[in-house]
Chain A
Amino acid sequence: MTTTVVHSVGTASRDYSTWTAWYAAAPLNLVTADQLWRGEGYNDAEFTTTSTLITVSGSTVTDATRYLLMTSASGQGYRDNAGTSGPLRYDATKGVGLRWTAGYGAIISDAHALVVDGLQISYDVTVATNYPPPLSGIRALHNCLIESRQTSGNFINFPGEVVNCLVCMRGSTFSGTALRPTSNSPGVDHFIGNTIVRPSDLAAGGTGISGGGDGFPVVSDNAVFGFTTPFAGTIGSYPAGSGNNASSVASGSIPGSANQASLTFTAQFQTSTDAARDWRPTSGGALVNNGTRQQTYTNDVDIMNVARSTSTPTIGAREYVAPVAPAAQGQGAGISPSVAAAF
Chain B
Amino acid sequence: MAEILFWAAAQRDLVPVRKSDFVWTEGDVITVQRDGWPWGRMELCHPLWRIWRLKGISSDGLQDLVEDEVNRIGGMTFTVRQRVRYLDLSSSQARALLARGYFLNLDDRDVKRVLSWRRIKQVLVGQVG
Chain A residues close to B by CB (< 8 Å): 7-18, 20-21, 24-25, 27-29, 32-33, 50-52, 55, 57-61, 109-110, 130-132
Contact = CB atoms under 8 A, between A and B. Distances in A.
A131 B16 contact: no
5 contacts: A29-B13, A58-B22, A60-B17, A132-B70, A132-B77
Interface string B74-96: 01111111100000000000000
Contacts of A10: 40
Contacts of B17: 58-61
A173 B23 CA distance: 39
A21 B40 contact: yes
A32 B15 contact: yes
B38 interface: yes
Given A11-B38, A25-B46, A57 B13 contact: no
B41 A15 contact: yes
A128 to B, nearest CB: 13
A7 B42 CA distance: 9
Nearest to A183: B76
Contacts of A33: 13
Given A16-B42, A55-B79, 14 more contacts: A14-B40, A15-B40, A15-B41, A17-B37, A21-B5, A28-B15, A52-B66, A57-B80, A57-B82, A58-B17, A58-B18, A59-B22, A61-B17, A109-B68
Contacts of B112: none
Contact of A14 (B5, B13, B41, B79): B41
A contact face: mostly helix, strand, loop, or mixed: loop
Contacts of B7: 24
Given A29-B15, A59-B17, A131 B76 contact: yes
A60 B75 CA distance: 26
Contacts of B76: 131
B43 interface: yes
A55 B30 contact: no
Given A21-B31, A132-B70, A57 B81 contact: yes
A17 B39 contact: yes
A24 B42 contact: no
Contacts of A9: 40
Contacts of A110: 78-79
Contact of B40 (A13, A32, A58, A61): A13
B123 interface: no
A43 B119 CA distance: 36
Contacts of A132: 70, 77, 79
B67 interface: yes
B31 A20 contact: yes
- A-B residue pairs, 5 tightest by C-beta: A59-B22, A131-B77, A29-B15, A16-B40, A17-B40
A28 B40 contact: no
Given A15-B40, A17-B39, A55 B68 contact: yes
B11 interface: yes
Contacts of A109: 68, 79
